[in-house]
Amino acid sequence: MQDVKISNDLEKYLTHVDRYLRYLPISEKTDILSELKSSFYERLKSGQSSEEIIAKMPSAKVLAENYIDDSLSKTRKFTFKKLCKYILFYSYSSLIWLAVIPTLFTLAAGFLLSGIVSFAAGIMGFIKGFINISFLDNIKFIFIYYELKGISALIAGILLAVVFTVLGILSWRGTVAIIRYLQNKKLSIYNKSKVY
């Protein structure tokens, strides 16, 4: 198929794209690189020089970001695994994402865990108010200087669990909303400047 040879500059560009795509599944990454290589061969065959091809391409990082965005938005379901891939990629490629998306994700996880702990503390305080169990003697559910036991511990635990859970869900939704916004914004910018 190819009677032309890809230059070192084009190979170097593909190597950079490959490095930025490292968080995608290997099969997906291989398809993308094969597609790019075929496109380069076609352009070389049509008379374009390597320099012209590279000049019309976005940077390897921007191209990889768009492929990753496309991969992450193919399905409507936004899973934990997809979020982790997104965090890994943007943490690797840009310090801004290291601050924004992982921070929101950490807040979501922390609030949800706090909700579980608050509910468990409320249950233990409730039990401690009615039943004398030795291992619960050293556990205290303190809310604003007061140790809560019985019904008051249960109510406080449930209320705190609800508050923390709502904050966790809002943080999670905020994380997903920001990621989707950035995906749409980048794809929109990329599609406007796409020349290949």
97 assigned to some structural domain: no
167 assigned to some structural domain: yes
H runs (alpha helix) in 57-94: 60-72, 80-93
Q: What confidence category does residue 192 fall into, taking pLDDT thresholds of 50, 70 and 90? A: very low
Kindly tell me if the per-residue pLDDT of 194 is higher than 80: no
Rounded to two decimals, what is the model's pTM?
A: 0.47
Using CA atoms, how far apart are residues 123 and 144, in angstroms rounded to an integer? 18
- Could you list the residue range(s) of the whole structural domain that residue 110 is in? 103-176
Q: For residue 157, what are its two tokens?
A: 């635990």
Q: What confidence category does residue 88 fall into, taking pLDDT thresholds of 50, 70 and 90? A: low
Q: What pLDDT was estimated at residue 190?
A: 47
Number of domains composing the chain: 2
The predicted-structure confidence for 97-143, as pLDDT tens digits, reads as follows 557 778 888 899 999 999 999 898 888 888 877 777 776 667 666 77
Contacts of 18 (CB under 8 A, 6+ apart): 29, 33
* Average predicted confidence (pLDDT) for the chain: 77
Q: For residues 107 and 69, state if they share a domain.
A: no
93 assigned to some structural domain: no
The listed range with the strongest mean pLDDT (3-7, 120-124, 130-134, 181-185) is 120-124
Kindly tell me if the per-residue pLDDT of 196 is higher than 50: no
Using CA atoms, how far apart are residues 24 and 89, in angstroms rounded to an integer? 9
SS3 state of residue 147: strand
Query: Average pLDDT, stretch 138-166?
Result: 82
Q: For residues 165 and 123, state if they share a domain.
A: yes
Contacts of 62 (CB under 8 A, 6+ apart): 190
Kindly tell me if the per-residue pLDDT of 52 is higher than 90: no
Using CA atoms, how far apart are residues 82 and 105, in angstroms rounded to an integer? 12
Q: For residues 21 and 62, state if they share a domain.
A: yes
89 assigned to some structural domain: no
The predicted-structure confidence for 17-43, as pLDDT tens digits, reads as follows 888 887 777 888 888 889 888 888 888
85, 23 contact by CB (below 8 A): yes
Q: Is 134 exposed, middle or buried (0-12, 13-18, 19+ CB in 10 A)?
A: exposed
Closest CA to 68 of 52, 83, 79, 50: 83
88 assigned to some structural domain: no
Q: What pLDDT was estimated at residue 177?
A: 82
161 assigned to some structural domain: yes
85, 134 contact by CB (below 8 A): no
- Percent of the chain whose predicted confidence (pLDDT) is above 70: 71
151 assigned to some structural domain: yes
Q: For residue 6, what are its two tokens?
A: 């890809």
For residue 170, the surrounding DSSP H or E stretch is helix 151-193
**Regarding predicted confidence, which is higher, 182 or 11?**
11
Q: For residues 113 and 171, state if they share a domain.
A: yes
85 assigned to some structural domain: no
Which amino acid belongs to residue 5? K
